[in-house]
Amino acid sequence: MADEAKAKGNAAFSSGDFNTAIKHFTEAINLAPTNHVLYSNRSAACASLHQYDAALSDAKKTVDLKPDWSKGYSRLGAAHLGLHQYQDAVSAYKKGLEIDPSNEALKSGLADAQSAATASASRARAAPPPSPFGDAFQGPEMWAKLTADPTTRVYLQQPDFVKAMQEIQRNPSKLNEHLKDQRVMQALGALLNVKFKAHGAGDDMEIPEADSPRPPPPSQPAKEEVKKPEPEPEPEPMEITEEEKEKKEKKEKALKEKETGNAAYKKKDFETAIQHYTKAMELDDEDISYLTNRAAVYLEMGKYEDCIKDCDKAVERGRELRSDFKMVARALTRKGTALVKMAKCSKDYESAIETFQKALTEHRNPETLKKLNDAEKAKKDLEQQEYFDPKIADEEREKGNECFKQQKYPEAVKHYTESLRRNPKDPKAYSNRAACYTKLGALPEGLKDAEKCIELDPTFSKGYTRKGAVQFFMKEYEKALDTYQEGLKHDPNNQELLDGARKCVQQINKASRGDLSPEELKERQQAKAMQDPEIQNILSDPVMRQVLIDFQENPKAAQEHMKNPMVMNKIQKLVTAGIVQIR
């Protein structure tokens, strides 16, 4: 924002960092190119660095934008004076005095310009030898140096000293009349970069008149005195308009109102807090924290709609002002919290979730992320509660049973799934869907449903028969036997469990006696290998699946695969496990 950049420029100017001041004023001008005060301030900063050409350009722009503003002519006159364009400087100061006849800065500048113009004309006509100290009092540089020196800066607060220096500036020969004034001697030392003794210096030193010859003569040059670095000139105050002054005062009052509101909020005095935050907003509408703070109060009071309105205003105003993204995120998070408080059904959570997501795009805050996760979980739980209907669940299960009898297993799965959505705690639906998955050869899904059935009702025999059947088909006879035996603990006379256990024992005994046929042995070996996580990873790898297809259908591509050591290593593991054969 232009005001923010301007404030930074003023601060840099006041600290004597004129280059930084110019940078910030330039940034402000880019944002507000028609603000005459910004050009005026940059002109002053350039003049402080003796960059009078740039100062003149900005001063002209100031006058163009605001012809009736006297300060612009003061900048223009100072720039002309720095460039030794004395008549132009006189003209500029006179124009400024036409607008503001009582302006002391313009009067002083005019006197300086007229004095410099007269001296310049005299030198041009007669060119007499100049006073050795006359140049020290010429132009605005004199006041800058006096302001920069810590000692003489204090004297500038004394009217009689200022008057004496103005007299000397207009007529350097007047210096002799003020030599006994220690303040004048200190000023002379500051202007010449020379340190005088504190006592007696004025009595022992005679200052030559303006028409005296310049010592020493060329034939006897005096010992050259080592010059000290000239101190940085003290910056002149920045121009602050009445409007800006009033704005600053309002901001300060707004902050005090906010502090009072915060104190009331901590004491749970919400009505008082709202009054102070509202007053702060009236004083300063460029700080959205007043809105977000008031929204927090409304949230505590349960006035959720008022909270949401304040948050919406804060987000809109914050984006207009390009406020800190964290402040915008805070407003969105607060709004989301209010929406959660108002939610009565799963659909109500959608707007809250969306608001939290927007807040996270502004600023990823752990607190906001937790609120988002909680809202999503609450929405899901409510959806399940809203969808829960045991009666419809029973109807869907019966439809699934009819499809199962007709061997329409995929359709049966759909009905059982809908039944479980309506009633997720029904073990019968899980048992029946496990049977469908087994018929479809989807053994892992069948095993999962059978285990869920047992989890919901450990005494339900069908769960054990379903699980045991899946494990039997997977050639995991020992595991299947354990499942059947566990089921018999709850229902010792269940014939399905007894038959299942008997078949498992037969297969286990057959294997132990070595009575398995080569085909059965191969199936058993493959089933066991399929339980190996490494084998499962190889078979689930899309690249390896394509390799296996190429081995069957594309011999040329297979030969290329065989050149890859990693591929061949995986193929060898599948061969060893009995999953594939290479001829």
Which tokens is 541 given?
A: 């790898």
Query: Same CATH topology for 258-386 and 388-513?
Result: yes
Within 13 A of 172's CA, how many CA atoms are on the CB side? 21
How many Å apart are CA 83 and CA 402, to the nearest integer? 104
Task: Using the predicted structure, report yes or no on whether residue 335 has a pLDDT greater than 90.
Answer: yes
Can you spell out the DSSP letters for 21-65?
HHHHHHHHHHH-TT-HHHHHHHHHHHHHTT-HHHHHHHHHHHHHH
- Number of Cβ within a 10 Å radius of residue 478: 10
| pLDDT (tens digit per residue) in 64-96 | 999 998 888 988 988 998 898 989 999 999 998
| pLDDT (tens digit per residue) in 371-419 | 999 999 999 888 888 888 899 999 999 999 999 999 999 999 999 999 9
Contacts of residue 99, Cβ cutoff 8 Å, sequence gap at least 6 = 68, 69, 70, 73
Fold of 388-513: 1.25.40
Contacts of residue 382, Cβ cutoff 8 Å, sequence gap at least 6 = 345, 346, 349
Say if residues 480 and 468 touch (Cβ distance below 8 Å): yes
Closest CA to 185 of 173, 199, 196, 170: 196
Say if residues 201 and 186 touch (Cβ distance below 8 Å): no
Task: Using the predicted structure, report yes or no on whether residue 129 has a pLDDT greater than 60.
Answer: no
**What pLDDT was estimated at residue 199?**
43
Which tokens is 278 given?
A: 């509202």
How many Å apart are CA 88 and CA 120, to the nearest integer? 13
Q: Which of 31-45, 205-219, 461-475, 549-563 has the lowest mean pLDDT?
A: 205-219
Task: Give SS3 for 17.
Answer: coil
Statement: the pTM of the whole predicted model exceeds 0.75? no
How many Å apart are CA 474 and CA 444, to the nearest integer? 9
| CATH architecture, domain defined by 1-124 | Alpha Horseshoe (1.25)
Say if residues 291 and 281 touch (Cβ distance below 8 Å): yes
Fold of 258-386: 1.25.40
How many Å apart are CA 85 and CA 72, to the nearest integer? 17
Q: What residue segments make up the domains of the chain, in order of their start?
A: 1-124, 147-192, 258-386, 388-513, 532-577
| CATH architecture, domain defined by 532-577 | Orthogonal Bundle (1.10)
**What pLDDT was estimated at residue 388?**
84
Say if residues 42 and 25 touch (Cβ distance below 8 Å): yes
